[in-house]
Structure 1
Amino acid sequence: METLQRLYPIGIQTFSKIREGNYLYIDKTEYIYQMTHSASSYVFLSRPRRFGKSLLTSTLHSYFSGRKDLFQGLAMERLEKEWIEYPVLHFDMSTAKHVGKDELISELERKLTTYERIYGRNEEDIYVNQRLQGLIERAYKQTGRQVVVLIDEYDAPLLDVVHEKENLGVLRNIMRNFYSPLKACDPYLKYVFLTGITKFSQLSIFSELNNIENISMDESYAAICGITEDEMLSQMKEDMERLAAKLNISPEEVLLKLKENYDGYHFTYPSPDIYNPFSLLNAFADGKFGSYWFGSGTPTYLIKMLDKFGVNPSEIGPKQAKASIFDAPTETMTNIAPLLYQSGYITIKDYNKILDLYTLDI
């Protein structure tokens, strides 16, 4: 009997769609349980593009919505006992790229309107920060439960203008204003989670949110996005065997080829080897080894910043960096190494604890 074709969730970032459609899902729910039951209820995670940030955010949405049915057979089913449904406000900022001041405000208003249809709107709330605060307060009062706020790609409206001092200042002020109620609404909030590419900085857009925990380089969350070799060998064993059969090579040779092409991401030190999920899933779906992640395009902001710092792509190679530069505000940084790292073009290869010095390379 012929086995059913494996469904790979390429381009699908919605957890419910993956689970209901029986697509491959690499179980990250144990990390989610750990993260949502830690001391901090304000969390920020940075990862490169196409690394699963949006899927992680969507999984959190389903979890906080009490969708126990979607977690059958996953670690979360064993860990979670209560399954409480909280009101969730989920904002995807990737729709606000390449926009000016008026378009950005309009896009934020459109996102707020979606939830105001559910929880209502106070006509006295005019500006986006007032409307967000009103939404949170009403959602809390109407449901009797604290509110979860999920913001995916918080920095998307700013990245493409990071090299433009005037535009950056204008758009940054709009976004800072929009996010400002998150601190004032603390009594009404259950959990706040933000993702992005650039590192969180207290000197930048989140100056008001001084209580947020940046887990981007936390060893216990090193594999929260991407696919580890252990996960591949345990949850994708059949996929590797199918690929080996198609290419007429051994599974061991497949592993070496996959390692050579898609492995080597480290988001702290020490860290397990992390495989790029976008490339890995495309390779299994196509039955060949292609340059999928790189072929999906180099971000405009990175090209502009390479130009600003006078760095040619051919010069991207071994670099050393102090840990402190990873927290420098992106808009005032004097070294492009952190942005190359955050964007996924170079990774951590070594760390000298005595000197507090990271070695970074392609």
Structure 2
Amino acid sequence: MYLNNNEAYKNFIALLNSEIFIDKSMILKILNKRIHTTNRFICITRPRRFGKSEITNLIESYYSKALDTNSIFDTLNISEENCYTEHLNKYNIIKVDFSIKKETSEDYTSYINRIINGISDDLLLAYPEVDCAKCETLSSKLVATKDEFVFIFDEWDYIFNKGIYLNYHEDFLDFLRVLLKGRSYVSLCYMTGILPIKKHSSGSALNMFEEYTLLDDGVFEEFFGFTEQEVRSLCQQNKMGYNELAYWYNGYKMESGLKIFNPRSVNLAIMKKKCKSYWVNTGAMNEVLEYLEIDPMGVRDDIVRMVNHEEIEIEDIEEFRAGQGIPQTKEEIYSAMITLGFLTYSDGLLSIPNKELMGEFEKALKDKSFSGEFDIFKESRLMLQATLSRDTETMAKILHNIHNREISLYDYNHENGLSSVVSLAYLSARSKYIIKKEEHTGKGRADFIFHPLTSRYIPIIIELKRGKGTQTAIDQIINQEYTTTLFDRSKRNILIVGIDYTEGKDHTCHVMELEYRRGINEV
């Protein structure tokens, strides 16, 4: 059934009964203002796993006149609003999930006719007084009912995203246009998917829609994904540390400055009491590998820098839209990665959102197709081993190799050049440490502090110098009391590392272990 189905209600009840539930019902306050207005056509696009389908279930459960959900919504935030009862269970719902296909293969005509015929059959049952035989089109049948409907379309972009029915993409857009545009029977149309609507050179078939994307929203941002405040509350309820969850799953930056967590991964981490990668969208990562193989104008170099926790400055990122085809330019590739949820973009700066996605890019760069990038990861594993064993000769050799290979990325004449190469040398250490650059500690800021994720690894402080010698770096760590806070937190020994680069003499390293003494090292 497509008309007044109760499947969404069942799914919404299952969500309400789950151990982890975040009340997103205030989205209804915004939608209620759009009903019966020229702004009633809404298209919201987000990457997978951002709770889009869950929101469609909430919306249908609220508006559907085939349901009585008063007792449920009375407990949610929307019940405090003046508009609450005016629209509760007042509308016929036509819900279509465009990702649902037959188990066997079907061509486009069968696919779209199955949807049209399904809605037509539902209308025939609900409106027996309407002579559907006289109505040639679905829209004419809807007009004949003399009724109004709320349309909810989930995964509207399915055939574009999956690259199927390529010769019928324009026909599909025209189907939506004829069904919706200028139709008085549309009280509200809420459409969601991954890809924004395709733009035609001669205008848009669906230009009545207002679009809200990762790059351009400002209205619906807080309803897709979990906000920092929501995750803090979940952490308190479930006795989990907020900082670790934020390190793994936070970092999607919205236009307003709001930061959003990946909700599915937060759910799983809290349920399993363990932070790790729960990313399962391997198909999308295969697409990213294809983009990296195209590599126009140094995309791979930029990805290496972002894996190294740097932000890339880039202007004029435009939306990657349905039907656009394989991206070719640097800007198109970044736009596609943002749309798929692999990168985040704010204030002209592009970055990898969090530890979970960082791991996916590291896997991608370790692919056999990228031998140069794989060498970086191999050397970075050796760098941590050499540091922990105080093998300063190997440390200096690795820094020399990375410096020479990545000189196009990091110019040592730039003040951050040495810092960037050292950060790259410890790339693999990020699986064992939270690495903070320029963190305030003691009487100043340390260049690097390595906070171990488990008790198996010793904390590390690194100070860098240019042409002043490693002893100067070691003395600064001690004299500026950089170790005080770390001793207080970890209550164990600390490695301190001095690294110096002198032009013409290359890199030198010095490693010392400072002993923790209770009552002496503490504040």
How does the TM-score come out when normalised to structure 1?
0.76
Q: Deviations over 1:242-299 (max 9, x none)?
A: xx4xxxxxxxxx111101100001232x32221100100011111111210x234232
Partner residue in 1 for 2:178: 181
Q: Which amino acid aligns with 1:257?
A: E
1:183 touches 1:208 (CA, 8 Å); kept in 2? Answer: no
Structure 1 segment 288-307 matched on structure 2, within 5 A:
288-292=274-278, 294-299=279-284, 302-303=287-288, 306=291
In the alignment of these two chains, the number of paired residues is 315
Tell me the SS of whatever aligns to 2:189: strand
Measured in 1, the distance between the counterparts of 2:104 and 2:168 equals 9
2:92 touches 2:150 (CA, 8 Å); kept in 1? Answer: yes
Out of 248, 255, 258, the residue aligned to residue 242 of structure 2 is 255
Higher relative contact order (CA 8 A, sep 6+): 1
Q: Which has the higher helix share?
A: 1
Cα distance change on mapping 1:215 and 1:313 into 2, 3 Å: same
Structure 1 segment 8-47 matched on structure 2, within 5 A:
14-19=11-16, 21=17, 23-38=19-34, 40-47=39-46
Structure 1 segment 133-282 matched on structure 2, within 5 A:
133-138=139-144, 140-141=145-146, 144=147, 146-161=148-163, 168=166, 170-203=167-200, 207-216=204-213, 217-234=216-233, 237-239=236-238, 241=239, 244=240, 254-268=241-255, 270-282=256-268
Q: Which amino acid aligns with 2:262?
A: N
2:318 touches 2:335 (CA, 8 Å); kept in 1? Answer: yes
Measured in 1, the distance between the counterparts of 2:33 and 2:191 equals 16
Measured in 2, the distance between the counterparts of 1:182 and 1:205 equals 20
Tell me the SS of whatever aligns to 2:337: helix
Cα distance change on mapping 1:191 and 1:272 into 2, 3 Å: same
Q: Which amino acid aligns with 1:280?
A: V
Structure 1: stretches of 5+ with no match in the other structure: 1-11, 245-253, 352-357
Cα distance change on mapping 1:189 and 1:160 into 2, 3 Å: same
Cα distance change on mapping 1:124 and 1:158 into 2, 3 Å: farther
Aligned-pair identity in percent equals 21
TM-superposed deviation, 1:313: 7.0
TM-superposed deviation, 1:125: 5.9
Partner residue in 1 for 2:430: none
Tell me the SS of whatever aligns to 2:132: coil
Tell me the SS of whatever aligns to 1:37: helix
Measured in 1, the distance between the counterparts of 2:76 and 2:29 equals 11
Q: Which has the higher strand share?
A: 2
Cα distance change on mapping 1:81 and 1:263 into 2, 3 Å: same
Structure 1 segment 90-105 matched on structure 2, within 5 A:
90-96=95-101, 102-105=106-109
Tell me the SS of whatever aligns to 1:200: coil
Q: Does 1:72 align with 2:74?
A: yes
Measured in 2, the distance between the counterparts of 1:22 and 1:72 equals 18
Q: Which amino acid aligns with 1:259?
A: A
Q: CA RMSD in A?
A: 3.3
Measured in 2, the distance between the counterparts of 1:234 and 1:78 equals 21
Measured in 2, the distance between the counterparts of 1:150 and 1:302 equals 29
**Quick check: which has more Rg, 1 or 2?**
2
How does the TM-score come out when normalised to structure 2?
0.54
2:161 touches 2:322 (CA, 8 Å); kept in 1? Answer: no
